[in-house]
């Protein structure tokens, strides 16, 4: 065999064929572990080689590899192409079967993203040409099918189309049902829940409870743990006591504005993470987490705008008459 530079085209093809055969025979004599190690080593070498290339060199190599692949496929016979496609499909199925659900989902998302990027990079003419080519390939594929294969293909296509139509109908039905339920909703139709009045009195501390809260033994635990907790009576100023007992001339005004009075004298504002429940229904004030009070610092930090904003109210003797 003459040297590589002096070979004819036929001799070069014969040498490549002989080298490929020797390489296949050499690989066939290796163990599976050695093959796996060699594949990993080759992949690592390829990654390192590509990482050292510039963007222009990578693009040139991709075009060259694509051209070589097209030439290789073009040199195959129809039977060899069909056999190679079947082998590729089998290898792909085996590879996917060995993946976990998370890896499959990640690969599907990655493939979809790559396909979107590829289609987005095409011009309108290229997209139209690709659609026509895909349609032609699909027609050719169906034309090459046998009658049983066509019947199976029709059944599969009908099943997929039926599933898609059913999914669309279900989505439309859900949207229509939701819209109809919203339109039919009437707050007056809601059944009112009534705990009855606070007529259940604790026999130990005298606390009032709803009748529905009373346990079977009629001994309450929410207030005083069945008499185990004894609190001293609250000592109120005489004026406050008269206001609370409605024995003062301003008692009516006090009870009408008790919330505003309490907020004005609190020296802080209530804060909470208000999280109303989802859906539709009567208003419900619901919080998530802990209630807290917001207040500023009692000592100024130096700037005039950081001065504490408080109003101190001094009770006057003539305001509340005892």
28 falls within a domain? no
**End-to-end Cα separation, the chain, in angstroms:** 127
Confidence (pTM): 0.30
Residue 319 pLDDT more than 60?
A: no
Residue 1 pLDDT more than 70?
A: no
User: In this predicted structure, which of 86-90, 175-179, 264-268 has the lowest mean pLDDT?
Assistant: 264-268
8 A C-beta contact, residue 248 and residue 320? yes
What local confidence, expressed as pLDDT, does residue 73 receive? Answer: 87
287 falls within a domain? no
8 A C-beta contact, residue 1 and residue 11? yes
Residue 306 pLDDT more than 60?
A: no
Average pLDDT, the chain: 81
Count CB atoms within 10 A of the CB of residue 73.
11
Consecutive H or E run containing 294: strand 292-294
Query: pLDDT above 90 covers what percent of the chain?
Result: 3
Residues 25-41 pLDDT 10s: 887 887 878 888 888 88
Residue 78 pLDDT more than 50?
A: yes
What local confidence, expressed as pLDDT, does residue 321 receive? Answer: 42
When pLDDT is averaged across residues 152-157 and rounded to a whole number, the result is 82
What local confidence, expressed as pLDDT, does residue 311 receive? Answer: 54
73 falls within a domain? yes
d(CA 19, CA 4): 13
3-state secondary structure of 162: helix
Residue 318 pLDDT more than 50?
A: no
d(CA 83, CA 81): 5
What local confidence, expressed as pLDDT, does residue 296 receive? Answer: 61
d(CA 307, CA 313): 18
Length of the chain: 322
d(CA 243, CA 320): 9
> When comparing pLDDT for 258 and 265, which is higher?
258
When pLDDT is averaged across residues 117-143 and rounded to a whole number, the result is 87
What local confidence, expressed as pLDDT, does residue 285 receive? Answer: 83
> When comparing pLDDT for 136 and 280, which is higher?
136
49 falls within a domain? yes
Sign for the CA dihedral angle at 23, 27, 29, 34 comes to positive
Which pLDDT band, with edges at 50, 70 and 90, does 322 fall under?
very low
What local confidence, expressed as pLDDT, does residue 252 receive? Answer: 92
Q: How many domains does the chain have?
A: 1
Please name the residues in contact with 10: beta carbons below 8 A apart, sequence gap of 6 or more: none
65 falls within a domain? yes
What local confidence, expressed as pLDDT, does residue 288 receive? Answer: 83
245 falls within a domain? no
When pLDDT is averaged across residues 67-71 and rounded to a whole number, the result is 89
184 falls within a domain? no
121 falls within a domain? no
> What own/partner pairs with CB < 8 Å and gap ≥ 24 does 313-321 have?
313/264, 313/265, 320/239, 320/243, 320/248, 320/250, 321/239, 321/248, 321/249
Residues 104-114 pLDDT 10s: 888 888 888 88
d(CA 50, CA 59): 11
d(CA 173, CA 167): 10
Count CB atoms within 10 A of the CB of residue 205.
15
As beta bridge partners, residue 208 has 201
Structural domain that includes position 83: 37-98
Residue 301 pLDDT more than 70?
A: no
As beta bridge partners, residue 200 has 209
């Amino acid at each position: 065999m003459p040297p590589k530079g002096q070979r004819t085209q036929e001799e070069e093809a014969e040498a490549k064929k002989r080298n490929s055969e020797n390489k296949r025979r050499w690989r066939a004599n290796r163990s599976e572990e050695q093959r796996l190690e060699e594949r990993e080593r080759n992949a690592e070498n390829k990654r390192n080689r590509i990482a050292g290339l510039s963007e222009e060199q990578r693009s040139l190599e991709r075009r060259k590899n694509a051209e070589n692949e097209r030439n290789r496929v073009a040199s195959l016979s129809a039977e060899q192409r069909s056999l190679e496609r079947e082998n590729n499909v089998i290898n792909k199925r085996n590879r996917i079967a060995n993946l976990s659900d998370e890896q499959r989902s990640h690969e599907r998302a990655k493939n979809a993203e790559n396909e979107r990027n590829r289609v987005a990079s095409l011009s309108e003419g290229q997209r139209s040409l690709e659609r026509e080519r895909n349609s032609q390939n699909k027609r050719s594929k169906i034309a090459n099918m046998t009658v049983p294969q066509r019947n199976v293909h029709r059944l599969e296509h009908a099943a997929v189309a039926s599933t898609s139509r059913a999914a669309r109908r279900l989505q439309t039905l859900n949207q229509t049902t939701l819209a109809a339920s919203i339109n039919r909703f009437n707050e007056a139709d809601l059944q009112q829940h009534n705990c009855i009045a606070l007529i259940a009195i604790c026999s130990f501390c005298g606390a009032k409870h709803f009748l529905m809260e009373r346990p079977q033994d009629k001994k309450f635990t929410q207030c005083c743990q069945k008499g185990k907790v004894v609190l001293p009576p609250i000592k109120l100023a005489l004026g406050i006591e008269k206001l609370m007992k409605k024995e003062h001339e301003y008692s009516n005004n006090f009870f009408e504005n008790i919330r505003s009075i309490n907020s004005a004298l609190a020296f802080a504002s209530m804060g909470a993470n208000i999280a109303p429940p989802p859906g539709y229904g009567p208003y419900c004030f619901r919080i998530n987490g802990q209630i807290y009070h917001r207040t500023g610092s009692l000592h100024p930090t130096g700037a005039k705008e950081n001065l504490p904003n408080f109003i101190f109210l001094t009770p006057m003797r003539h305001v509340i008459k005892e």
